[in-house]
Amino acid sequence: MIRPPFPDFSFETAALARGARVVAGVDEVGRGPLAGPVTAAAVRLFPGSIPLGLNDSKKLSAARREALFHALMEQAQVSIAHATVAEIDELNILRASHLAMQRALAGLPEPCDHALIDGNLLPRGLSCAAQAIVKGDGRSLSIAAASIIAKVTRDAIMVDLAQQHPGYGWEANAGYPTKAHLAALLNLGVTPWHRRSFKPVHNILYQDKSLTP
């Protein structure tokens, strides 16, 4: 089946037609970074007031994401949640991501009847019906909206953390393992915001200099 080039409202429409009243898209940002929380968002769109231009956050410019973020905060029901660095290290990144998604869904103003989850796995223990959609941020408008909310929120967190811990480039790399970030780990050491269960950080803690960029 040929997929449309842009996300649409078909998954939401189908769920509403089956009797769901509150349908929300859920996405997370921050599985890959070495530092910072993982952030999830749940977004309920209203058919009469969907901001134009919603798409996978990775396909949008920073300025466009910011504009859509503010439009969504005004026109949609939005919930944002996180899993901490400690939870990531304790649970593993997949389970922590799912925990953040669960929290985001639970934080919506009205209980969700049907959740559209980006990815191929559903978080355990959801209190509503749910559907996993591979590459959902490019297929569902609600998931695209959630991806924008999560990314703008997490990027802002990492900019703030970069001011507290200068030298790692978090304001630009958002905690991802860029060459400059790995070099800073070796030169400046590990911060409380680094994920100790992630191999590059773990190896720095144990003084494995073979990872020098």
pLDDT (tens, 9 = 90+) of the chain, 213 residues, equals 456 678 999 999 999 999 999 999 999 999 999 999 999 999 999 999 999 999 999 999 999 999 999 999 999 999 999 999 999 999 999 999 999 999 999 999 999 999 999 999 999 989 899 999 999 999 999 999 999 999 999 999 999 999 999 999 999 999 999 999 999 999 999 999 999 999 999 998 887 454 444
Paired tokens of 6: 């842009």
What CATH number does the domain containing 52 carry?
Answer: 3.30.420.10
Structural domain of 78: 10-163
Same domain (yes/no): 119, 202: no
Give me the pLDDT at residue 4, please: 62
Same domain (yes/no): 25, 97: yes
Is 110 part of a structural domain of the chain?
Answer: yes
Give me the pLDDT at residue 211, please: 46
Same domain (yes/no): 45, 75: yes
Paired tokens of 142: 């609600």
Q: How many domains does the structure of the chain reveal?
A: 2
Same domain (yes/no): 121, 172: no
Residue type, 19: G
Separation of alpha carbons 132 and 118, rounded Å: 6
Same domain (yes/no): 149, 86: yes
Residues belonging to the binding site for a divalent metal cation are 27-28, 118
Residues belonging to the binding site are 27-28, 118
Cα-based distances in Å from 175 to 5, 17, 72, 180: 30, 41, 25, 11
Asked whether the beta carbons of 127 and 22 are under 8 A apart, the reply is no
**CB atoms < 10 A from the CB of 181, how many?**
23
Tell me the whole-structure pTM to 2 decimals.
0.94
